[in-house]
Amino acid sequence: MEEAVNLLISELKIKIIDTLHFEDVRPDDIVEDHQLVGGELGIDSIDVLELVMMIDKDYGIKIDNKELGEKVFANLTSLARFIYENSRSVGN
């Protein structure tokens, strides 16, 4: 499981950079356990919704309430774990 989650983390870093148009961020700049929303990257509520749409599209998982969203988007590890636990098509 840890290996799959780590793979997901690497994949999500690239997707986040791409989805949120970070021209000046490299995958290594996103630290797994750092606060994802409101942290050093400046990710805000609109960005979270953009990521929600990406996760629905790429992993077939809906995140449609605020309480769940706050838990899932705490950091990159929690996001990867959530996707791993809810997806049957990891890595697609």
Partner 1 sequence: MTGVRVYITGMGLVTSAGCGVSRARDVIRNRGKRIRPLSLFPVSPDNRLPVGEVDGFIETGGIPRTHQLALTAAREAMARCKEVPDAVVMGVTTGGMLTTEQCLKTGDGDPDAFKYHSPSSVTEYVALELGCHGPVITLSTACSSSAAAITIALEMLRAGRAGTVLAGGADSLCRLTYHGFRALQLIDPQGARPFDKNREGMSVAEGAAVLVLTASESVPDNAIAEILGAGLTCDAYHPSAPHPDGAGALQAMQAALQDAHISLQEIDYISLHGTGTVDNDRSEAKALNALFPDKKPLMSSVKGAFGHSLGAAGAMEAIVSALAVSEGLVPANVGCDLPDPELKLEPLMTPLETANIQTVLSNSFGFGGNNASVVIGSPRRGHPPRSIPVKEASHLVVLGSACLTGAGDADMSLRTVSGGKSCRGRVPDPVLSQGVSPREVRRLRRLPRLVLALASAVQAHSQLPDAPGSIFFGTGWGALSETYDFLTNLFESGEHFPSPIDFVGSVHNAPAGQAAIRFGSMGPNITATGGDASFEQALMLAGLMAKDRDGTLLVIGGDESHGSLSRLFDRSVGSDAAPSDGGGCLCLRRSKSAPGLKTAVMFYETSANNPSVVSSLTAGLGDGERVREKYGAVFAGIPAACRKRGEEQLREFLSISRFDGPVIDYRRFTGEFASASAVAAVLAIRCMDGRELPGGFYGGKKVHLKDKGILLVGLGDIVTAIEVIR
> Per-residue DSSP letters for 23-48?
TT--GGGS-TTS--TTSTT---HHHH
Among 9, 12, 20, 30, binds partner 1 (CB under 8 A): 20
6 close to 86: Cβ distance less than 8 angstroms: no
Among 47, 72, 76, 80, binds partner 1 (CB under 8 A): 47
Q: How far apart are CA 28 and CA 10, in angstroms?
A: 9
State in angstroms the smallest separation of the CB of 2 from partner 1.
Answer: 30
The DSSP call for residue 74 is T
Among 2, 3, 21, 67, binds partner 1 (CB under 8 A): 21
User: Does 92 help bind partner 1 (rule: CB under 8 A)?
Assistant: no
- Residues forming contacts to partner 1 in the complex (CB under 8 A) are 20-24, 42, 44-47, 49-50, 52-53, 56-57, 64, 66
